[in-house]
Structure 1
Amino acid sequence: MNIIERGVEAVFPAAEYQARQARVRQALVARGLDAAIFTGPENIFWLTSQQTPGYYTFQCLILPVAGEPIFLLRELELTNFLRNSFVTAFETYGDGVAPAGLLLAALDRLGLSRKRIAIEKGGWFLPISFYESLVEALPERPDDATGIVEQMRRVKSPGELAAIERAVAQSDAGMRAGLAAIRPGATENDIVAAMMQAAIAGGAEYMGMEPLVSSGPRSGVPHATWRRRRLEAGDAVFLEMSGCSDRYHSGLMRTAWLGEPPTLARDLERVVLAALEAAIGVAGPGRSCAEVHHAAQTVIDAAGMTDRYRKRSGYSLGVSFAPDWGEWQVMSLFDGVDVELEPGMCFHIPITLREWGAFTVGISESIVIAEGGCRQLGGTIPRGIHVIDCE
């Protein structure tokens, strides 16, 4: 492999990743650990800049307290790894080879097999059978490394904030295009095609999740997405999407109507807008994630619409891979999440009220916590229901 290629597609300089790894090592020492094995694609990216859509095959970073990290990955991914990462030690396995054996051999060679190690158990792609084989082979049961890196990902650096703001601009462009594509006779697919085209033309990479677009009665079903339905006069249209810049994501949700919305929809709209404003108004340093959720929930409860709102009020934004665009592992704005907000934390706040199986009124903003409060990211698209003239 050409050594000149090393790290040419890394998002940040090598020193940034070395500093992140040093912070994790300090956390491992504080827990009495000798090493940790990271398997989640988001944490691997945050620590090394390695990214690939092929994370469905086993990859991991072994990070010892002393000594250089070593990366284990599928042979097909090596060139990608060399261009993305500055990690110098790596081992590959071919198709048809069980990677658990490679990991065990590496731990033994590094003198870690009989030491106290931890492995992420809460990621997407650590099969139960794989983990059980490690537990059976190691002299001592590994600790759980889940949450070590996630805690460090909460507050974004200036470079990370810049990437999120680029993703927000892509979302804005995509949402404007989607709203412009709504008309009687158009299909849900037409709307998504317009959204994706605009976001990608604006610099977006592949997102952690494609846009959520649904119309008519389907718009009243949470997480329904496009299925070729043709729009008719009187339809509600629900739209939600994220941009993606260097794996950093955003979030944006809007609602449109083909013709004048019914009275109930306007009632829901007023409550959604008030709840969103309440959540944004509370978000600031020293408040907790739960307090932001409570601010929105209080407005909804006071309006007698509790049964229409059965979810958290938001989630952390940052590094994501499919199947999600939010940092679900990092923070949620919900009851019992007592994490104190700090400047540099980013959130998507999607407030939705539904007439279940009939329509949804959903409106959101993305924010970053700042000194004295928070700052809205983007915000170029009016929040209220977008009424589309059917004539």
Structure 2
Amino acid sequence: MALHFETEEYANRLRRLTSKMREEKLDAMLLFAQESMYWLTGYDTFGYCFFQTLVVRADGEMVLLTRSADLRQARRTSTIEKIEIWVDRANADPAMDLKNLLSEMDLLGCRIGVEYDTHGLTGKNAKLLDNQLQSFGELVDASHLVGRLRLIKSAAEITHVERAAALADDALDAALPLIGPGGDEAAILAAMQGAVLAGGGDYPANEFIIGSGEDALLCRYKSGRRRLDAQDQLTLEWAGVSAHYHAAMMRTIVIGTPTDRHRELYSACRETMQAIEMVLRPGNTFGTVFDTHARIMDERGLARHRLNACGYSLGARFSPSWMEQQMFHIGNPQEILPDMSLFIHMIIMDSDTGTAMTLGQTYLTTTDEPKALSRYGLDFIEV
């Protein structure tokens, strides 16, 4: 097997999960989120876009139902011993195969948790699932059960988080010499992704974001490249990735002379980041972090230019997004605890003046002040 962690690490995760299941009075779980399967067993694939599920009984028995293309993938990358295959065919209904499997596992009439809130379960497949199982047992939406367990990182996971952060720094190292008048976005992007891969890292769960000029105000990837002008702005959001664990960073870099508005927005970003560092500690909540962000931005008259979230938990994720379920937005009661890996981002997009400014880095929480995982700090970058 090709595993990133010792077998005892996976055994401990299974114990944590089954303990939580018993607490929630669940006889079984149907895991559809690829990151849940990966966290629990090491199973590593992109076949989750088709129907597949890992059935976990409260007594610890696990069976994977998947396609033939993923049979050897599961054997090679995971601790899963029992694998069942549903056959690709016209008008296939893999939910029927699942019902038969659950019956064989003596789960008829039981209380079964389902991970509905995941890109590993399409709307069509969810309808098939509900149609087959609505009279089989009691289905419970348990979409966030594993996600909450994954919020706290083990010592072995933190090793990968810190390696990912070093790779993120390496990516910025590779980009900076290429940023300047006439610089090619394509070359910058290639250098950043190349640095992560050359350092032994992985592809990220979503594309790196790169945009200059007017596109610097976008905070999503889009196709198309341009060369930098003598007076320009470049927004980058990227992540180092180790064993699928992400450490993200974000910067807006000014080419030429920064405008007063660039300086003003950067000052707001930095002040807010430093204020958040004071509350990114046990005893506060994710909602507290967002409230700090909103208060400072709004006091500076930037309410129209900021976002309605200022970061999220990071971990081992699969496409289409490296964002975890828990985000820094208004009213989130999730408590901040030690050993969380959390990405804080300040994103100000002033469409009135066409000015962009961002600042973001990943932190590891402790029993007190958070540990910033990048060696770059929060300094303004201009070329």
1:3 is aligned to: none
Q: Deviations over 1:188-231 (max 9, x none)?
A: 11110111111111121111012101000111123244511121
TM-score if structure 2 supplies the norm length? 0.94
1:17 partner amino acid:
Y
1:85 is aligned to: 78
Pairwise CA distance, 1:40? 0.5
1:251 is aligned to: 248
Counterpart contact for 2:314–2:323, Cα < 8 Å = yes
1:190 is aligned to: 187
1:62 aligns with 2:55: yes
2:210 partner amino acid:
V
Separation in 2, partners of 1:159, 1:78: 27
Question: CA 1:226 to 1:266, structure 2 compared with 1: closer, same or farther past 3 Å?
Answer: farther
1:38 is aligned to: 31
Q: Which stretch of the first structure deviates more once superposed, 88-97 or 203-212?
A: 88-97
Q: Deviations over 1:30-77 (max 9, x none)?
A: 222211101000111111110112221222110112362111111111
Pairwise CA distance, 1:382? 4.7
Q: Which stretch of the first structure deviates more once superposed, 369-378 or 182-191?
A: 182-191
User: Among 373, 377, 381, which residue is 2:373 paired with?
Assistant: 377
1:341 is aligned to: 336
1:387 aligns with 2:376: no
Give the secondary structure class of the aligned counterpart of 2:49: coil
Question: CA 1:26 to 1:292, structure 2 compared with 1: closer, same or farther past 3 Å?
Answer: same
User: Among 278, 288, 309, which residue is 2:306 paired with?
Assistant: 309
Separation in 2, partners of 1:53, 1:206: 12
2:357 is aligned to: 361
Give the secondary structure class of the aligned counterpart of 1:24: helix
1:263 aligns with 2:257: no
Structure 2 gap segments, 5+ residues each: none
Counterpart contact for 1:248–1:319, Cα < 8 Å = yes
Separation in 2, partners of 1:356, 1:9: 48
1:109 aligns with 2:110: no
1:5 is aligned to: none
1:161 is aligned to: 158
Question: CA 1:354 to 1:134, structure 2 compared with 1: closer, same or farther past 3 Å?
Answer: closer
Pairwise CA distance, 1:141? 4.5
1:22 is aligned to: 15
Among the aligned pairs, what percent are the same residue?
29
TM-score if structure 1 supplies the norm length? 0.93
1:205 aligns with 2:198: no
Separation in 2, partners of 1:156, 1:227: 37
2:4 is aligned to: 11
Q: How does 1:79-158 map to 2 (within 5 A)?
A: 79-96=72-89, 97-138=92-133, 139=135, 140-158=137-155
Separation in 1, partners of 2:123, 2:217: 35
1:220 aligns with 2:217: yes
Separation in 1, partners of 2:190, 2:279: 36
Separation in 2, partners of 1:17, 1:382: 34
Separation in 2, partners of 1:133, 1:272: 47
Give the secondary structure class of the aligned counterpart of 1:19: helix
Question: CA 1:67 to 1:291, structure 2 compared with 1: closer, same or farther past 3 Å?
Answer: closer
Question: CA 1:259 to 1:76, structure 2 compared with 1: closer, same or farther past 3 Å?
Answer: same
Q: Deviations over 1:314-358 (max 9, x none)?
A: 10011111111221x1x2122111111111011000101112282
Counterpart contact for 1:176–1:381, Cα < 8 Å = no
Q: Which stretch of the first structure deviates more once superposed, 163-172 or 96-105?
A: 96-105
1:295 partner amino acid:
T
Counterpart contact for 1:135–1:141, Cα < 8 Å = no
Give the secondary structure class of the aligned counterpart of 1:332: coil
Counterpart contact for 1:218–1:224, Cα < 8 Å = no
2:132 partner amino acid:
A
Pairwise CA distance, 1:365? 1.6
1:293 is aligned to: 290
Give the secondary structure class of the aligned counterpart of 1:242: strand
2:36 partner amino acid:
N
Counterpart contact for 2:340–2:365, Cα < 8 Å = yes
Question: CA 1:94 to 1:136, structure 2 compared with 1: closer, same or farther past 3 Å?
Answer: closer
Counterpart contact for 2:342–2:364, Cα < 8 Å = yes
Q: Which stretch of the first structure deviates more once superposed, 304-313 or 216-225?
A: 216-225
User: Among 249, 273, 276, which residue is 1:276 paired with?
Assistant: 273
The count of corresponding residues between Structure 1 and Structure 2 is 378
Question: CA 1:183 to 1:313, structure 2 compared with 1: closer, same or farther past 3 Å?
Answer: same
Separation in 2, partners of 1:20, 1:46: 8
Pairwise CA distance, 1:266? 0.9
Q: Deviations over 1:268-323 (max 9, x none)?
A: 01111111111112211111111122222222122111111122111001111111
Counterpart contact for 1:179–1:256, Cα < 8 Å = no
Counterpart contact for 1:288–1:339, Cα < 8 Å = yes
